[in-house]
Amino acid sequence: MKTLDFLKCTMLASALCLLGSYAKADTVVTSPDGQLNVNVKTEADGLSWTVTKAGKVMYTETGVTVNVGGTVLGSNAKVRGVKRNSVSQKIHPVVPLKFSEINDNYNEATLNFGKYQVVVRVMNNAVAHRFVLNQKGDVEIMDEQFNIHPAPGFTAHYQTEDSFHTSYEEPYLTNSLAEWENSGKMATIPVLLSGANDTQLLIGESDVDDYPHMFLLAKGNAITTIFPKAPLAWEPQGDRGETITKEADYIAKTSGTRALPWRWVAVTDSKGIIEQTVPVQLARRNVLTDTSWIKPGQFSWEWWNGATPYGPDVDFKAGCNYETYCYYADFAAKYGIEYILLDEGWAKSTTDPLHGNDNLRLPDLIKYCDAKGVKVVLWLPWLAVYNHFDTLFKTYAEWGITAVKIDFMDHADQWMVNFYKRTMIEAAKYHIIVDWHGAFTPAGLEQEYPNLVSYEGVLGLEQMGRCTTSNTLFIPFIRNAVGAADFTPGGMLNMQPERYHSQRPNSAAMGTRAYQMALYVVLESGVQMLADNPTRYYEADDCTRYITSVPTTWDETRCLEASAGEYVVVAKRKGSKWFIGAITNGTARDFTISLDFIGAGQHRLTAYKDGKNAEYQAMHYNKVEQAVSASTKLDIHLAKNGGWAAVIE
C-alpha cells in the first residue's frame, strides 16, 4: 500500500513538474515560407514575443494584456495547452480593391489559459494576435495593452490627434519615437515605421466589432495603446456632432464569450505594403447572401467645385436646384459615371433628411436621372440618420435612392462603432450602399457588410491647400494599406505647391494634371469622386475619358516601383486591361518599367505624361500612344509633384 501511494505521489509530482516546465516553455510560430519567426513567452507583466525575419530582429512586443473587470489577462499566465493550425485558402472580396482572389496562408498557435486564449497568427508578411474570452454574461473591458519595440533605426510616419474627437484628417508626420513622445500626442491607426534597407512595419487592427478603435502613443523606445472610454451619455452638438457628457471607466461592455479584435503588424517593404491584403484576411467574411445590388463606381460631386457649371450651354441659375443637378446627370451619362452626389444643401434642412429643398424637385430629379442611367446619392449628417433611423432607408428605397454619404461621426468609441454596424445592417435591408465621411479608418466592417463601399478618414482633396502632394504620397502606404479611402481626386486646375492658390468655385489641386489622373489608379476606393466642375471636364475631354475609364475595383495589383512617402508606380488589372499610375513628391524622377506582366501578343498603350513645362505650368501634359508587348521596356519621366497615367489594352 505504501509503495502504491509513493508511486502515485511520484507520478503526480512528475506531472506537475512537466506542467510547470511546459507553462514556462516558449511557443514558436513560423510563417508558411519560413521567413518570419515569432517566439512567444509568458512574463509577469504579460505575454511577449520577438519577431525575426530571416534571422534578423524586426521588433519585440511586450506587456500583451487585457484587463477584464480588474483582472489582467496575460500577466503571470500559465499555458495549459497549445493548439496549432495551418491554413491555405482563397478569399474572394465582394468589393475587391487589390485582388479579386486573395491567397490566405498562415500558421497559427492558440495558447489556452483556461478562461481565455490568445491566438498568434503568422503570415508570410505579417504577425497578428487576439484574445478570445470564455466568460459568462457581459464583461467590462477596462483596457487592452501591448508595447511594440521596433529594432533600432526605425522612423515613424503617423497622423496625430489632440483628442478622441477626430475625423482622421490630419497630415502625416515623420519623426523619431522620441520626437513623437515629446509631442504628447496620440496617433490614429494605422502607423508606419520605416527602417534601413526599405524595411517597413505597418501597425493596424481588424475585426473591430462592439469595441472601440485603437489609438497609439510613443513611450520611451516603444509604441503603446490607448482607447476611448465607452460613452454613457451624450448631447447633440449642433446639427451634426455630439458632446459626450459622461464616460464609463471601461472601454467596452461586451459579451464575455467572444474574440476581441485582431492587432497586427505587417513586416514587408514599400512594394509589399501596396500589395498586402492583411486587413482583409483578418476580417470577418461577408454575411449578405445576395450582393448583386452592391455597385461600386464613380460619383460626379458638386461640393468641391461649388455646384456652378459655367459652360456656354449653361443658361440657368446654378445651385442646389433641379436644373443644376440635371446638368450633372447629363455630364455623368455622357461619360458613363454611375452616380451623382447631392451634398449639403439638397434637403430643406440638415436635420430633415426626408424632404428636398423647394428648388430641387427631388422626385422629378430622380426620374430624370433614372432615365439617363444615373443614380442619385444623398449626403447626410449622421445625427439625421440617427434621429430618423426607423424610416430613413425604407423611405429612400421607395424613392429609388441606392447610395448615401454619411458624415461627421468624428468618434471611434464602442457606441459609435456599433452605430456604424447598425446602419450598415439597416441599409443592407433596403439595398443601399454607404460612403462614410468624417469617419474612422477601415477595420473589417466593410468585409462583413460590403455595402460599405468606402470611408473617408483621410486628408483628401476637399482640404484644398492642406492637401499637399508630399502628404498624399503617404496615403498608398498608410491609409490605403488598410482599406478604401474616399480621397475625392480629379482636380483639373493644376498647380505646383509654390504657386498654389484656390477658393471655391475655382478650386485647384496641387500636383500636375498627369498626377491627378494617376491618382485614379494609385488610390483605392469602392467609390471614386470626380471632384471638379463638369465644365472643366468637358474642356479636357481626353483626360476625362481616361479618368472615367478607370475601374474602382480590381482583379490584380502589381507594384512596380515604390518608396514609402516618396513615389509609387503601380499596375492594376481589370479583366484584360491593365492600368498604370505613377506619382512622385517634390522630386522629379525617371523610371524604366517592364511590361512583362501584360501577356503575349501586341497591345495598345495610351499614356498621359507630364509635359516639359509641368514643373512650372502644372497643367502641361502630353498624350502618347504606342504599340507595346510583354518585352517592352518603358522609360517614364515624372516632373516634381508629377505623375504618369496609362491604359494598356
Mind listing the pLDDT tens digit for each residue in 344-353? 999 999 999 9
Mean pLDDT of the residues in the chain: 95
% residues pLDDT > 70 (the chain): 96
Topology of the domain comprising 464-472+491-523+550-649: Immunoglobulin-like (2.60.40)
Closest CA to 237 of 149, 351, 376: 351
pLDDT for residue 4 is more than 60: no
- Please give the average per-residue pLDDT across 123-148, as a whole number: 98
- Please give the average per-residue pLDDT across 479-492, as a whole number: 98
Closest CA to 259 of 228, 284, 293: 284
How big is the CA angle at 452 (ends 546 and 266), to the nearest 5 degrees? 85
How far is residue 268's CA from residue 233's CA, in Å, rounded to a whole number? 43
Q: How confident is the model at residue 647 (pLDDT cuts 50, 70, 90)?
A: very high
For 415-444, write each residue's pLDDT tens digit: 999 999 999 999 999 999 999 999 999 999
Residue type, 622: N
Active-site residue (options: 407, 448, 486, 561): 407
- Please give the average per-residue pLDDT across 2-11, as a whole number: 42
How far is residue 104's CA from residue 107's CA, in Å, rounded to a whole number? 10
pLDDT for residue 10 is more than 90: no
For 508-555, write each residue's pLDDT tens digit: 999 999 999 999 999 999 999 999 999 999 999 999 999 999 999 999
For 264-299, write each residue's pLDDT tens digit: 999 999 999 999 999 999 999 999 999 999 999 999
Is 407 one of the catalytic residues? Answer: yes
| Joined grid coordinates for residue 377 | 446619392
Tell me what pLDDT residue 358 has: 96
Q: CB under 8 Å, gap of 24 or more: what pairs does 70-78 form?
A: 70/142, 72/46, 73/113, 73/115, 73/116, 73/131, 74/46, 74/47, 74/113, 74/118, 74/131, 75/43, 75/44, 75/45, 75/46, 76/42, 76/44, 77/42, 77/46, 77/47, 77/113, 78/23, 78/42, 78/113
Tell me what pLDDT residue 602 has: 96
Q: How confident is the model at residue 243 (pLDDT cuts 50, 70, 90)?
A: very high
Calculate the CA 441 to chain-centre distance: 5
For 155-204, write each residue's pLDDT tens digit: 999 999 999 999 999 999 999 999 999 999 999 999 999 999 999 999 99
Would you tell me how many other CB atoms lie within 10 Å of the CB of residue 308?
A: 16
For 553-583, write each residue's pLDDT tens digit: 999 999 999 999 999 999 999 999 999 999 9
Judge whether 159 and 188 are in contact, CB under 8 Å: yes
Q: How confident is the model at residue 23 (pLDDT cuts 50, 70, 90)?
A: very low
The SS3 of residue 599 is coil
The SS3 of residue 494 is strand
Pairing between β-strand 297-301 and β-strand 527-530 as defined by DSSP bridges: parallel
How far is residue 275's CA from residue 290's CA, in Å, rounded to a whole number? 28
End-to-end CA distance of the chain: 88
Q: How confident is the model at residue 9 (pLDDT cuts 50, 70, 90)?
A: very low
Tell me what pLDDT residue 525 has: 98
- Please give the average per-residue pLDDT across 52-74, as a whole number: 98
How far is residue 281's CA from residue 268's CA, in Å, rounded to a whole number? 16
pLDDT for residue 12 is more than 50: no
Is 143 one of the catalytic residues? Answer: no
Tell me what pLDDT residue 354 has: 97
| Residue-range domain boundaries for the chain | 27-282, 464-472+491-523+550-649
How far is residue 594's CA from residue 165's CA, in Å, rounded to a whole number? 46
Residue type, 207: D
pLDDT for residue 5 is more than 90: no
The SS3 of residue 28 is strand
Tell me what pLDDT residue 8 has: 43
Residue type, 353: P
- Please give the average per-residue pLDDT across 478-493, as a whole number: 98
Helices (H) and strands (E) counted in the chain, each on its own, are 14, 39
DSSP secondary structure, 355-409, as one string: EE-TTT-HHHHHHHHHHHT-EEEEEEEHHHHHHTTTTHHHHHHHHT--EEEEE--
How far is residue 349's CA from residue 124's CA, in Å, rounded to a whole number? 52
The highest-level CATH class for domain 27-282 is mainly beta
% residues pLDDT > 90 (the chain): 96
Active-site residue (options: 462, 524, 532, 561): 462
Tell me what pLDDT residue 22 has: 42
